Amino acid sequence: MLLEARGITKAFGSFKAVDDASVTLEQGDILGLIGPNGAGKSTFFNCLTGDLRTTAGRVLFEGRDITDLAPEQRAQLGLARTFQLPQTFEGMTVLENVMIGAFLRAAHRTEAETKARAVLERVGMIRLADAPARSLGTPGRKRLEIARALATEPKVLLLDEAMAGLNAHEVKLAIDLVRDIHRAGITLVIVEHIMEVIMSLASRVMVFHQGKEIARGSPREVTANPAVIAAYLGTRAAKAAAGHTPIELMGGPT
Amino acid sequence: MRRLLWLSVLAAVAIAYPLLLSSPFQQRLGALVLLYAIAASAWNIVGGYAGQVSVGHVVFFGCGAYAAMGAYAKFELSPLFGIPGGIVIAVVLAAVIGVPTLRLSGHYFSMATIAVAETMRLIVTNTDYLGAAVGLSGPTVARNIFDLSFISSLPYYYLFLLVLAITLVITWWMANSRMGFYLRAIKDSERAARSLGAPARRTKLYAFMLSAALTSVAGALYAMMFGFVDPESGLGILISVKILIMAALGGAGLLFGPLVGAAILVPLEEISNSVLGGKGAGLTFVVYGAIIVLIARFQPGGILSLFKRRSKPASEAGAPHAP
């Protein structure tokens, strides 16, 4: 088992954003975390990465308890993430942005630069290496987030809405990139709103609603689950929708 | 290559300056520019590269100044012997101050450092061992060359030039190491830097300690040149402000930014002081205020950022994945 979360609860005051959620991740998985806005999936995600401290529950990585480790210590172990709102290092070039990730496993500048260039080559951004990162648009920034995370040579990569704000063509390219990363042996956790992405990428899906896990299984299983449809569309709509393919209702491929 | 050429020109100008413009006023001015350039360059490590705007750096400056004068006044040693002591005290103090304050972000960090600096000034003002409000004096007449008590500013000029060169080499080396890269990343997004494995707190603390050590050397040199230190000249908040403005004016986070800032501000202040005499003291603050407003409004990156090589923006180099 690569990554495991046991009974994660995260409370802000008396409000439980995540309530007793558990998940296991095997080598080679692509786990999709979905749910309506405010369902708690991002909070759960941030508990896995160490950006948020859990109120209760444990997080284990390769059998080791990492609940109390800081984000940088988790990165050291092989956990990498991207941010929903790209956290680009604006004062640096594209190459330097990726070098920050590469420095985790490279002590010297030249070594980090070589690694960073290889990553940029891999994600198709090598031509932009010397451009100031602040000149990138949303698709470029999203891709740079992934490149930086890859440069840390992670075992697990957690993508927080890596496709949000991209147009249909850019989403296709991003899906290709994620597939490529997966083929290279990296296990993935993706939080995503775009159903198409989940349907075409995820091997397993976990659905959140009001801080609780309401369903899990293959993408087809969960989208056929009445509780999931109710969570997205409301109970009455779910009844009315009976007989239609649920995926269709959620804007997925028909 | 071009960079090397510029460096040699700069070095040649710096070495020749006091010989070409050799009046005592000009030599003294040159020495002061270098002295403030050392302090501002030291500040630049934490304030510029790491983006942690400390307004309390005078504390470390004071450590050096008091250690140098203390070595003479208390132990009859050359003020030079005070330098290592000053560095040790400054580094320890930086660790003590840095651990709690570096957790704060932006203005809160700046305000905390002001509070620490003012507290330190009040403590020293009321400590008899450190001369209280009168301060400590160095040797009035040099007993030997190691007392570094000269009438001419020329020896100070070259001493300061050497220390500045060392400071800049250390800064350059740091900026090109993993630490420098991490500091710049932390400045832009601490959260992202940590997610990529940068130990943010530790890196900031090391930068703060390195900066403190170098600032303390600047303080020691200052006290040696003037032959005394008191709470106002060694721990006054205005020194912090001066150092900060010089770095910001020239270009915070750029290697030569602080030197450029010092080369502009120190002559400005010396000239306004000599023209206006004692009446000018208040005016200096007004000028500083005006400079802060102008930098913030027109050139937040400092003067040197105007000359930074402009690299092609991404839109010209082609979209990340051209459709």
The secondary structure of residue A106, as a DSSP letter, is -
Q: In sequence order, which residues have a C-beta less than 8 Å from that of residue B215 and are 6 or more positions away?
A: B39, B42, B43, B57, B60, B61, B64, B90, B243
The predicted-structure confidence for A30-75, as pLDDT tens digits, reads as follows 999 988 888 888 899 999 999 999 999 999 999 999 999 999 999 9
What burial class does residue A21 get, using C-beta atoms within 10 Å of its C-beta: 0-12 exposed, 13-18 middle, 19+ buried?
A: buried
Cα B194 to the center of its chain, rounded Å: 28
Whether chain A has a CB inside 8 Å of the CB on B314: the answer is: yes
CB atoms within 10 A of CB B297: 8
**Chain A residues touching residue B313 (CB < 8 angstroms):** 131-132, 135
Angle formed at CA A215 by CA A210 and CA A221, multiple of 5 degrees: 140
The candidate with the shortest Cα–Cα distance to A201, out of A32, A41, A61, A27, is A32
Whether chain A has a CB inside 8 Å of the CB on B189: the answer is: yes
Helices (H) and strands (E) in chain A, counts: 11, 10
Main-chain phi, psi angles of A159, to 5 degrees: -105, 120
The candidate with the shortest Cα–Cα distance to B323, out of A175, A111, A220, A168, is A168
Is ipTM beyond 0.95? no
Coil, helix or strand at residue A16: strand
Return the pLDDT at A247: 58
Give the minimum alpha-carbon distance from B91 to chain A in angstroms, rounded to a whole number.
25
Return the pLDDT at A223: 82
Whether chain A has a CB inside 8 Å of the CB on B107: the answer is: no
Kindly determine whether residue B197 and residue A76, on different chains, have CB atoms separated by under 8 Å. Answer: yes
In this complex, how many residue pairs, one in chain A and one in chain B, have their CB atoms less than 8 Å apart? 122
The predicted-structure confidence for A119-146, as pLDDT tens digits, reads as follows 999 999 999 999 999 999 999 999 999 9
Return the pLDDT at B181: 97
Choose the weakest-confidence range: A25-34, A109-118, B148-157, B224-233. Answer: B148-157
The secondary structure of residue A35, as a DSSP letter, is -
Give residue A42's identity as a one-letter amino acid code: S
Strand (E) or helix (H) holding B126: none
Mean pLDDT along residues B136-152: 80
What radius of gyration, in Å, describes the C-alpha atoms of chain A? 19
Return the pLDDT at B316: 44
Categorize the per-residue pLDDT at B279 as very low, low, confident or very high, splitting at 50, 70 and 90: low
Domains of chain A: residue spans and CATH: 3-88+155-249 (3.40.50.300)
CB-CB contact of B79 with B146 (8 Å): no
Coil, helix or strand at residue B229: strand
pLDDT at A246 over 70: no
The predicted-structure confidence for B47-100, as pLDDT tens digits, reads as follows 999 999 999 999 999 999 999 999 988 888 888 999 999 999 999 999 999 999
pLDDT at B113 over 60: yes
User: Mean pLDDT across chain B, nearest whole number?
Assistant: 88
